Chains A and B, each alone.
Chain A
């Protein structure tokens, strides 16, 4: 059974940092690209970043470029999102997405950026 469990969210002040994690199981993690997607309060779903199956390439939404870094550890079936220089507008629930159809499977982790 495919599972993706996000963690690491919390409340942080503007300018602060957080590291999100996504524990994946039930599929062959190391052959799929993995994504982060977020949903701000009352808004739709927004793609954030992707990392290639082997970690050799990363791409980011313009809104997070230069501040967020996606990474993965295929030996542990883990995906990460290092978020620096956080802004109020980064407040959202963050989900990981992956497998062949790049689907969201988890419950997400809440990130709140507030002073």
Chain B
């Protein structure tokens, strides 16, 4: 199975900050990397698919890049509604595997 290592697992930031979350795959996964935002008690919300494609309706302050084994999600100018847990997911090979999550909390 492809292991997804996400860091940091916890992040404390202020409104307006620029935040970066990284995800590393145990082997090359091409562009098959998705990012989700999850708020407490809610379903994961797709933010980015295929490494860098912004899902419809997602604010442009979210962006992502990556290739091979290393991927990053960036949130420019963190907003109050962005405080949540973020997950990466690889879909290059079955089984689908997910990062352990990054909880973004208010400083």
A contacts, CB < 8 Å to B: 1, 33, 35, 37, 44-47, 50, 59, 61, 93, 95, 97, 100-108
Instruction: Across the interface, name the chain A residue whose C-beta is closest to B94.
Output: A50
Contact A50 B43 (CB under 8 A): no
Report the contact-size class of chain B (Cβ under 8 Å from the partner).
20 to 34
Contact B96 A37 (CB under 8 A): yes
A102 to B101, CA, bound (A): 18
- The verdict on B91 contacting chain A, using a C-beta distance below 8 Å, is yes
Contact A50 B91 (CB under 8 A): no
Contact A104 B100 (CB under 8 A): no
Interface mask (B85-106 → A, CB under 8 Å = 1, otherwise 0) = 0010101001111111100000
B contacts, CB < 8 Å to A: 32, 34, 36, 43-44, 46, 49-50, 56, 87, 89, 91, 94-101
- Distance in angstroms from A4 CB to nearest chain B CB is 10
Contact B44 A45 (CB under 8 A): yes
Contact A50 B95 (CB under 8 A): yes
Contact A45 B94 (CB under 8 A): no
Instruction: Across the interface, name the chain A residue whose C-beta is closest to B41.
Output: A93
